[in-house]
Structure 1
């Protein structure tokens, strides 16, 4: 039982935001600011099935001491039954003995489901739910594809703290448009709003309490009485590669995992990724130049060196099924050694 191992409720923050807004980078920045003597746990849920974010966190060995990471693939954290997250959360807390918990739901998930689950009496004895932090790109307020999206709006609605990320890319009217949108649709006075660049969150923001509106559980059925299963994590192939699809909320994903003996060419990967017309791409690759993470959002491709990887894997998300055509061939063309 978790309760017997936890003396004080663990300060817990949900870090939410739509696809490509920079949630993972923000959490990486928070981890870099973690006091050395503290133990943190991070629970990550991804829309795709292969799981990239866990590999990104684990590849950062310099800031990894005292951090335990668990990922639940397939977007199931925000589903109505919530069984997978309950099991994963219990295992993570038992393993980590954490003094702080950060939860990153998928950018396509409904955060109200997660907040409702964590507000049950059972979890109130274990977790101290603090401010929900929602990252948003203020430029998206001009795009009805976002403002008409239920998930996008719910992420803003539930947040006590709203982070206008990527502020270095804004035009003069972008941030004021965000403030106007929040004022017209939500309670602006109940939210703290900050502009940042590159996910540079202040660790002190995590201490802000949650509101009473976010402490309404859907039911109080104890987690240990519910189904005890987790979605199977895809294993690294001993030969070749494997791929898997997922869909939901009007989006489609396809992920690939490659045998770790395969080496990719960095320049080939960058060129191939730049040429893809997709909403979102995350990948970690074993290359002839070391371990590299690639990220594509808003047609911008970035790459980062990692300290270690167990395999190469990539996840692509798009609102069009046809966008997946030809991606597998393009990735295989980037190989320099099998």
Structure 2
């Protein structure tokens, strides 16, 4: 009896979907997954600044019926840290499990994108993946604020892109599109495309555009390392919740996982987010009105119903976070589901 080994994994078409906090990367990836040809297997590698893994949960809640979508996360900061070891291990595991027709990588909005590209374009990865267009989502309205114009991470994300997508263009004001085109012309190579999208929807064909990246040696940068064990691997204690924090590049994060028996009051969660002043909040909650996704970015709160979630989890990111955020969230739990 002879056994056949699995086909060799080689030259998997790969795209990086980059962008600053709250620009809509996860929504864009979800829209791409909705366009996936039925006969193909796609893999998504997600890196988050925080420890909880919210983005993967959000994708799972909307892609749960498609068994040809495979997800893997690298939580807790920039995936290029430690010579790219966390990313390399996760990438190898994902490729081996999924054997995908296409790979999408979402780095953290606070990561060092050029180093991630260099890692993906060197060594063993040159044989297993084929790096296609690096796509950076940007909200042109950010270009009126110094905190973005002077942010090295934001500038780098645009500068290394093969395609810059001006997302949320339905919310732009007069002159915003032109401002983004001009900014990209100063930061990017001449061949960089600038296109615009609403709600992260763009042509699937952009994924097949080539990358112009030329391999460079990664430079040492001050990274934001994980300071807590990944929450996904821990049991929730009798208190009913777990928290973990992270910090780097002037930002901090606080993530939560809640007991699956906890049921939240959607009205109270909404009120918390409407009264909070932070850069980013994202979470999926089990509420009395069903599973809800809450997203707060650029002072805009969006809410969406999803089919289900196994447990409530959320992440807050900002330069300064409220000291009583834990208490606020626990006060939004309805007593009827607490055991």
TM-score scaled by length of structure 1: 0.91
Distance (Å, rounded) in 2 between the aligned partners of 1:231 and 1:207: 37
The residue aligned with 1:227 is none
Q: Which structure 2 residues correspond to residues 58-73 of structure 1 after superposition, within 5 A?
A: 58-61=60-63, 64-73=66-75
CA shift at 1:287, angstroms?
1.2
User: Deviation at 1:236?
Assistant: 4.7
Verify: 1:218 aligned to 2:217, yes or no.
yes
**2:257 paired residue number:** 257
Structure 1 SS opposite 2:124? helix
Q: What is the distance in 2 between the residues matched to 1:231 and 1:99?
A: 32
CA distance in structure 2 between the partners assigned to 1:63 and 1:205 by the alignment: 25
Does structure 2 retain, via aligned residues, the 8 Å contact 1:236–1:257?
A: no
Against the structure 1 CA distance between its residues 80 and 53, is the aligned structure 2 distance closer, same or farther, given a 3 Å change threshold? same
Change (3 A) 1:309 1:238: farther
- Deviation for aligned residue 1:93: 0.6
Contact 1:36 1:65 in 2 (8 A): no
Equivalent-residue separation in structure 2 for 1:324 and 1:237 (angstroms) = 23
Contact 2:78-2:107 at 8 Å conserved across structures: no
CA distance in 2, matches of 1:107, 1:236: 28
Contact 1:254–1:324 (8 Å) recurs in 2: no
Alignment of 1:260-279 (within 5 A): 260-279=260-279
Instruction: Tell me the SS of whatever aligns to 2:133.
Output: coil
Q: Distance in 2 between matches of 1:113 and 1:309?
A: 34
1:132 match: secondary structure: strand
Match of 1:76 among 75, 78, 83: 78
Q: 1:76 to 1:231 in 2, by over 3 A?
A: farther
Task: Provide, for residues 253-306 of structure 1, a one-character-per-residue CA deviation record: whole Å limited to 9, x for no partner.
Answer: 111111010100111111111111110000111112211111000111111222
**Corresponding residue of 1:293:** 293
- Residue matched to 1:51: 53
What secondary structure sits across from 1:145 in the alignment?
helix
Which range is displaced more, 12-21 or 173-182?
173-182
Which runs of no fewer than 5 residues in structure 2 stay unpaired?
Answer: 219-227
1:18 pairs with 2:16: no
Instruction: Give the counterpart of 2:326 among 325, 328, 332.
Output: 328
The DSSP-based 3-state class of the residue aligned with 1:60 is: helix
The residue aligned with 1:196 is 197
Secondary structure in 2 matching 1:65: coil
1:28 CA drift (Å): 0.2
